[in-house]
Amino acid sequence: VFPAKSSEASDTALKADLVVLNTAVAGKWLDADLKDDVPHVLPKLLWWIHEMRGHYFKLEYVKHLPLVAGAMIDSYTTAEYWKNRTHDRLG
């Protein structure tokens, strides 16, 4: 576990076999810290999502969601909510 603001987090994500993002908001870390390396990390990314409030569905947070290795959503209700809300934003 590394703080998102550390260079150690970015370096480790590039070398790791599996990267776990905790929370929807962590999606903005991908572009902010990994920049050009985002495509190298997405195929090994497991995204754990548990938020249901509308402001977590911003495109800047979720735009990479269809490209990750997997998403883990903590309940059927939350999963349906995300499916409907992200479909509207991602097309």
Instruction: Quote the CA–CA distance of 14 and 16 in Å, as a whole number.
Output: 6
User: How many residues comprise the chain?
Assistant: 91
- Provide the pLDDT for residue 58: 80
- Residue 56 tokens read as 């977590």
Q: How does 35-63 read in b/e, with b if 16+ C-beta sit within 10 Å?
A: eeeeeebbebbebebebbeeebbeeebbb
> Is residue 57 pLDDT above 80, yes or no?
no
Instruction: Tell me the C-alpha to C-alpha distance, in Å, between residue 47 and each of 27, 31, 70.
Output: 9, 15, 6
Q: Is 21 helix (H, G, I), strand (E, B) or coil?
A: strand
> Is residue 88 pLDDT above 90, yes or no?
no
Q: What does the domain layout of the chain look like in residue ranges?
A: 7-90
- Kindly report whether the global pTM for this prediction surpasses the value 0.85: no
